[in-house]
Structure 1
Amino acid sequence: MKILIVDDDTLVCQSLKILLSREKNMEIIGTAANGAEAIDSCRRKAPSVVLMDIQMPVMDGIQATRQIKVEWPQIHVMMLTTFKDEKNIRLAISAGAEGYLIKSTGVSNMAEQIRALVSGSSILDAEVLRQLTGPAEKKELEQLTPREKDIASLVAQGLSNREIAEQLYLSEGTVRNTLSIILEKLQLRDRTQLAIYYLK
């Protein structure tokens, strides 16, 4: 897989380039110092994965991620940052990032997470997941109706719309419409984000 590293810290870029290059099937095709350079590199080099920092000059990682996912939805974006606060986590996920890791993550573990991301998994660092499943989230879930909570719970258990409809004696259309309402209320993008959000 072709990886682009985006970070305004040159030392971080070079260290990750050296270490990840040693991993099997990983080719570092370049580095970028900000979001604008990242977008230019995506245009010229077509990476399969972008490791994206958040706070950078010129254009931050959130803005860059949003633009990359609009122009090249096939590119996987993994946030790699020191920020663990809920606001940045939610902004990154809303922008389209499929993964969020903290920079203290070991390189071998990081490589495993990148592979999992490319294979279709959503990746969240354990500390990040704790931020998203803390008491503040429970308060936000209180805005859902009992029926919406039931559907959110079943989505988190991995059930399809059809299975949820059968279990709750609803039509698939009703489940689909209710799911759209839930996503809008919680400001989430899809059922994968909802499942992660709902985990306790």
Structure 2
Amino acid sequence: MNILIVDDDSLVCESLELLLSRETDLQVLGTAANGVEAVTFCETHDVQIVLMDIQMPIMNGIEATKKLKSIKPELVIMMLTTFHDEQNIRLALAAGAKGYLIKSMDVTQMAHSIRSLASGSSVLDPRVIETLLSPKEKVLAELTEREQSISHLIAKGLSNKEIASQLFLSEGTVRNNLSIILGKLELRDRTQLAIYYLQSEAD
């Protein structure tokens, strides 16, 4: 997997590049110090995953995420930052980020998260999930047994294809059920569903 590291702290970039280079299936193509450099780099290189800081000069990570997703929708972006306040989290996810991790995470766990992102899963640091927790009027009990099973597997990070295989369903059936679940719980996407499910299980 080809990775771009975007951070205005050169030491962070160098450290991440060194640590991730030890993973045989991960290749750091380069680094960028701000959002503008990140966009330029992605336009000229075959980047698959971007590790994006938030607070940077010239163009911050959230603006860069919006820009990159508009020109390369298939690009997978994971925020990697010290900030985990609700506003930044929600803005980043709304901009198109599929993951949100805190920089203090162990590099082995980070590499695992990168692989999960590449397979189509959304990845959120536990501290991010805790920040986003809020009471819901809707409850999981309103879902059918199949819908609860699908929600459980989505919360575990499985893709539609993996869920279909595990529950002996077609991918189309999983997609249809997911749409019904999101409608019942008044949620926007599978990331919100995963957060909601984990919150409900913790209560």
Q: TM-score, normalised by structure 2?
A: 0.77
Deviation at residue 11 of structure 1 after TM alignment: 0.5
Which secondary structure state, in structure 1, belongs to the residue aligned with residue 186 of structure 2? helix
Contact kept, 8 Å, 1:157 with 1:195, in 2: the verdict is: no
**In the alignment, does 2:183 pair up with 1:179?**
yes
**In the alignment, does 2:190 pair up with 1:198?**
no
Q: CA RMSD in A?
A: 2.7
Which secondary structure state, in structure 2, belongs to the residue aligned with residue 59 of structure 1? coil
For 1:63, the equivalent position in structure 2 comes to 63
2-structure distance, mates of 1:63, 1:149: 38
For 1:41, the equivalent position in structure 2 comes to 41
For 2:151, the equivalent position in structure 1 comes to 156
Deviation at residue 38 of structure 1 after TM alignment: 0.5
Structure 1, unmatched stretches of 5+, are 165-171
2-structure distance, mates of 1:77, 1:180: 28
Deviation at residue 121 of structure 1 after TM alignment: 1.1
Deviation at residue 125 of structure 1 after TM alignment: 0.7
Deviations 1:95-118 (A, max 9, x none): 111111100011111111101110
Contact kept, 8 Å, 1:80 with 1:103, in 2: the verdict is: yes
For 1:72, the equivalent position in structure 2 comes to 72
For 1:132, the equivalent position in structure 2 comes to 132
Deviations 1:161-191 (A, max 9, x none): 6558xxxxxxx8xx48x829924xxxx3x2x
- Relative to structure 1, the CA distance from residue 162 to residue 78 in structure 2 (aligned partners, 3 Å threshold; closer, same or farther) is closer
Contact kept, 8 Å, 1:82 with 1:103, in 2: the verdict is: yes
Contact kept, 8 Å, 1:49 with 1:77, in 2: the verdict is: yes
Which secondary structure state, in structure 2, belongs to the residue aligned with residue 78 of structure 1? strand
Structure 2, unmatched stretches of 5+, are 154-172
* Equivalent AA in structure 1 for residue 40 of structure 2: D
Larger Rg: 1
Q: How many residues align?
A: 176
Deviations 1:95-150 (A, max 9, x none): 111111100011111111101110111101111111122xxx21xx34x6x8x993
2-structure distance, mates of 1:162, 1:43: 35
For 2:167, the equivalent position in structure 1 comes to none
For 1:109, the equivalent position in structure 2 comes to 109
Q: Which runs of structure 1 show a deviation greater than 3 angstroms over 4 or more consecutive aligned residues?
A: 148-151, 153-164
Q: TM-score, normalised by structure 1?
A: 0.78
